[in-house]
């Protein structure tokens, strides 16, 4: 028996699975199949981009597989450097070519978004499934339940052991934390089939769901139910298994608020953080993956940090002690307008978010070994929410200006328009998004020019050396690369460098959301003039003079013959 898992990519408020990220979904599915008796050699994994590239043998697997599983669903909009989520037409084509059992699932059960802003739930997205099945709850549980009971641990032989004639009797259900505790470990081998292996980021789940009684108007996370915390030991065991298969990059990203992991009910709307749990988690990960290259986090609720600053301070100290630099605590602020906060049952006021930003900066703004600050906040704004007026844009901009003027640092500012999915209070009530479209675009451009650009110059000043930038894409005479991490900076290098290779770079210029850099150190005697002219601190005339003087015999020769040599000597090699 052969099973094929096709990763169409996922992007949710609290889970990312777009390359170089590998989400938990395919790993859990592979683990469920392993528990049902399939061997590692029986389970194949392909990304939708691999299929598009017509890699020999990839397309044939679709027709030969006994089980074809598609993972998909983008419930937040995103732009990706070198990946494109699966389209409805591709889903139909794959299922049309498949001969075996066909199952689709993941966050597509909650919604499917496209570049045109369309948001629909499950099959309401207009996808024709034919005889394929949409897993209405957890796809990994549905795949596990396809198998007849009683064959766990045995090698499947003969006919396909599933309820082919009675699929309606299979319960659509959520998996349990104990199940994924097993499946996460058993499915860890799948990382070796990822096209970016070994340089792919494993998204780790600590919990999912939202324990609030009243939920944010637009969020799909409540569809997963109340907060369902995984045992620390299970997460650490999964990291250990992934590490044994070569994983070196990890992000604790699949949760709405890492600071609330195993939080206790203190009688208010915000769970009280338990710093000891986070210390056990981080220490356990470090002990089980001692040679890891990256350990980052993602979501944090600013109201948690503002409400419980002492506990949050302890957690931040733990994170800085055990993580790797360049980390980002993504804050879902959404708006600085108190009227919009109230109308959409949002969490934190602008004053509370500001205090959370200040707290993270106090411990995280120091520069780390890879050239980036240890950990900085990221801010998410959502426009088009109920109650939005022209004043909302003014308040949001004023808040960002206050942060900039205060000297506090933000790693990135996400600004998007709301996507309203069926089942959320926002569905059918996104008139403001259409009404304020031009205002939104003008405001967004103003933020990029007046806030993002000066902020980026503070986060990575000219002359900063960024370590381990992976070259990913060629575009004309440029190479674009990123460090592997949570919200990595896009680096444009004015030269065609080998792809999938790491290089250190010197920051030489800033865009609104990206930077320009040159290899560090720059081998001056072999460097082309296009790179020499980007050396920091000198003008075109000095760069031309340096290029004309090549070759240089040694450091002293360079300093003797180049009048502005002291400005660049630390960035070159002779």
Three-class DSSP category at 105: strand
The encoded tokens of residue 398 equal 């004023």
**Closest by CA position to 431, among listed 443, 442, 417, 441:** 417
- Rounded distance, CA 139 to CA 274, Å? 31
The answer to whether the CB of 426 falls within 8 A of the CB of 418 is yes
* Continuous H helices in 223-377: 232-244, 275-288, 302-307, 309-322, 338-343, 350-364
Q: State how far the alpha carbon of 127 is from the alpha carbons of 41, 83, 108, in Å.
A: 31, 21, 11
Q: Per-residue confidence of the chain (574 residues) as pLDDT tens digits? A: 899 999 999 998 889 999 999 999 999 999 999 999 999 999 999 999 999 988 777 788 899 999 999 999 988 877 888 889 999 899 999 999 999 999 999 999 876 654 444 444 444 456 777 888 999 999 999 999 998 764 444 434 444 554 443 556 788 999 999 999 999 999 999 999 999 999 999 999 999 988 777 788 888 888 888 889 999 999 999 999 999 999 999 999 999 999 999 999 877 778 999 999 999 999 999 999 999 999 999 999 999 999 999 999 999 999 999 999 999 999 999 999 999 999 998 989 999 999 999 999 999 999 999 999 999 999 999 999 999 999 999 999 999 999 999 999 999 999 998 888 888 888 878 777 778 889 999 999 999 999 999 999 999 999 999 999 999 999 999 999 999 999 999 999 999 999 999 999 999 999 999 999 999 999 999 999 999 999 998 888 999 999 999 999 999 999 999 988 999 999 999 9
Distance of CA 62 to the CA centre of its chain: 28
Element at 396 (helix H, strand E):
helix 390-406
Region of residue 150 (phi > 0: left; psi between -120 and 50: alpha; otherwise: beta): left
Phi, psi of 9 (to 5 degrees): 80, 150
Query: Residue 168: what pLDDT?
Result: 65
In this prediction, residue 125 carries a pLDDT of 53
* Paired sense of beta strands 375-383 and 412-417, if any: parallel
Q: Name the token pair of 89.
A: 């037409």
Specify whether the CB–CB gap between 400 and 357 falls below 8 A: no
Cα separation values, 372 from 185, 385, 504, 551, Å: 32, 34, 13, 33
Q: For residue 60, what pLDDT is reported?
A: 86
Helix, strand, coil share (%) of the chain residues, nearest 5: 40, 20, 40
Say how far apart CA 149 and CA 162 lie, in whole Å. Answer: 9
Handedness of CA 473, 476, 477, 478 (dihedral sign): negative
Closest CA to 312 of 266, 350, 257, 367: 257
User: Tokens in use for 101?
Assistant: 């059992």
Tokens of 199: 């340089």
pLDDT at position 123 is 45
Q: How far apart are CA 11 and CA 77, in angstroms?
A: 8
Predicted local distance difference test score (pLDDT) of residue 114: 47
| Cβ within 8 Å of residue 130, ≥6 positions away | 92, 95, 96, 102
Rounded Cα distance between 269 and 279, Å, is 24
Phi, psi torsion values for 333, nearest 5 degrees: -75, -45
pLDDT score, position 149: 63
Kind of pairing, strands 112-113 and 119-120?
antiparallel
Q: How far is CA 82 from CA 11, 101, 253, 331, 520, in A?
A: 15, 30, 21, 25, 24
Supply the pLDDT for residue 223. 83
Q: Which two tokens stand for residue 86?
A: 């699966």
The pLDDT score that the predictor gives to residue 78 is 79
Residue with tokens 């980026």: 456
Euclidean distance between CA atoms 22 and 11, whole angstroms: 11
Distance CA 163, CA 186 (A): 24
CA distance 161 to 480: 47
| Pair of tokens at residue 368 | 């780390």
């Amino acid at each position: 028996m052969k099973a094929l898992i096709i990763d169409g990519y996922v992007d949710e408020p609290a889970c990312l699975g777009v390359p170089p990220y590998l989400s938990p979904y395919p790993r859990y599915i592979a683990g469920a199949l392993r528990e049902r008796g399939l061997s590692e050699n029986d389970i194949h994994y392909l990304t939708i981009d691999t299929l598009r590239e017509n890699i020999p043998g990839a397309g044939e697997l679709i027709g030969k597989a006994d089980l074809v599983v598609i993972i998909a669903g983008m419930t937040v909009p995103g732009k990706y450097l070198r990946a494109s989520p699966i389209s409805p037409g591709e889903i139909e084509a794959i299922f049309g070519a498949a001969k075996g059992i066909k199952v689709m699932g993941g966050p597509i059960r909650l919604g499917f978004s496209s570049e045109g802003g369309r948001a629909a739930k499950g099959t309401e997205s207009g996808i024709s499934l034919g005889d394929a099945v949409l897993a209405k709850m957890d796809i990994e549980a549905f795949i596990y339940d396809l198998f007849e009971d009683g064959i766990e641990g045995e090698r499947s032989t003969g006919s396909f052991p599933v309820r082919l004639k009675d699929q309606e009797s299979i319960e659509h259900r959520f998996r349990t934390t104990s199940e994924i505790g097993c499946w996460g470990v058993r499915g860890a081998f799948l990382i070796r089939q990822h096209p970016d292996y070994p340089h792919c980021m494993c998204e780790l789940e600590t919990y999912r769901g939202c324990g609030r009684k009243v939920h944010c108007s637009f969020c799909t996370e409540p569809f997963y139910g109340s907060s369902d915390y995984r045992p620390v030991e299970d997460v650490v065991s999964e990291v250990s298994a992934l590490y044994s298969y070569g994983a070196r990059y990890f992000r604790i990203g699949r949760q709405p608020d890492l600071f609330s992991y195993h939080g206790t009910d203190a009688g208010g709307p915000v769970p009280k953080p338990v710093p000891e749990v986070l210390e056990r988690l981080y220490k356990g990960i470090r002990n089980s993956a001692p040679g890891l290259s990256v350990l980052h986090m993602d979501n944090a609720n600013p109201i948690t940090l503002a409400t419980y600053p002492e506990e949050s301070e302890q957690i931040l100290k733990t994170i800085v002690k055990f993580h790797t630099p360049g980390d980002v605590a993504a804050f879902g602020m959404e708006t600085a307008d108190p009227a919009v906060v109230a109308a959409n049952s949002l969490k934190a006021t602008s004053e509370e978010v500001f205090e959370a930003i200040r707290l993270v900066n106090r411990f995280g703004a120091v520069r780390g070994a890879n050239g980036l600050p240890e950990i900085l906040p990221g801010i998410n704004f959502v426009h088009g929410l109920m109650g939005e007026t022209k004043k909302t844009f003014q308040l949001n901009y004023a808040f960002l200006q206050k942060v900039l003027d205060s000297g506090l640092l933000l790693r990135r500012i996400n600004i998007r328009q709301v996507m309203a999915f069926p089942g959320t209070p926002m569905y059918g009530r996104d008139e403001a998004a259409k009404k304020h479209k031009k205002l939104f675009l003008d405001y967004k451009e103003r933020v990029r020019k007046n806030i993002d650009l000066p902020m980026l110059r503070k986060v990575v000043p000219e002359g900063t050396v960024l370590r381990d930038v992976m070259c990913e894409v060629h575009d004309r005479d440029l190479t674009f690369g990123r460090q592997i991490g949570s919200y990595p900076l896009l680096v444009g290098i004015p030269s065609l460098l080998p792809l999938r290779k790491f290089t250190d770079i010197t920051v030489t210029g800033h865009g609104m959301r990206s930077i320009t850099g040159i290899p560090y150190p720059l081998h001056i005697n072999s460097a082309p003039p296009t790179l020499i002219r980007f050396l920091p601190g000198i003008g075109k005339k000095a760069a031309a003079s340096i290029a004309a003087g090549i070759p240089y015999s040694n450091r002293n020769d360079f300093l003797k013959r180049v009048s502005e040599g002291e400005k660049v000597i630390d960035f070159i090699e002779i």
